[in-house]
Structure 1
């Protein structure tokens, strides 16, 4: 998948989790959970949605590396390559 496709998929998933998030306002390197007050259940829903969409298994040990928009994109790019 291309970077643009990954970013759109993540933006769409975030929009379902937190509809008030404007992707244009996201600090791509900032902590998504803090920036948009995403709780642990919403984060788990985000990871689950992305796992299903990309047919990936995302182990819990990887969650800590998925804190920012950029980090998630990097992770998805590596796993879908």
Structure 2
């Protein structure tokens, strides 16, 4: 799985939680929760969605590392099966 495939999957997961998100408006290295109005429950659903889509276990201690599209793609890419 390449970086573009992961990015597309991450965006699809986010859009599944927040369908109003416009993919073209997302900035890869900007804090995602500043760009998309996600409350804590929405964010948890994104984490669960990433786990289900990519088969990546994301421990709660790593949630703070997942701040932007760029960091999420790198995290998933390093751990995807």
TM-score normalized by the length of structure 1: 0.93
The corresponding residue for 2:18 is 18
Further displaced range: 28-37 or 6-15? 28-37
Q: Which stretches of structure 1, 4 residues or more, deviate above 3 A after TM superposition?
A: none
Structure 2 segments unaligned to the other structure (5+ residues): none
Aligned to 2:31: 31
* 1:9-54 deviation digits (Å, cap 9, x = unpaired): 0111011111111111101111111211211111100010110111
Say what the alpha-carbon RMSD is for the aligned residues.
1.1
Match of 1:63 in 2: 63
Do residues 53 (structure 1) and 53 (structure 2) align?
yes
Give structure 1 stretches of 5+ with no counterpart. Answer: none
The two structures have a TM-score, normalised by structure 2, of 0.93
Instruction: Figure out how many residues of one structure are paired with residues of the other and give that number.
Output: 81
CA distance in 2 between counterparts of 1:12 and 1:35 reads 15
Matched residue SS, 1:47: helix
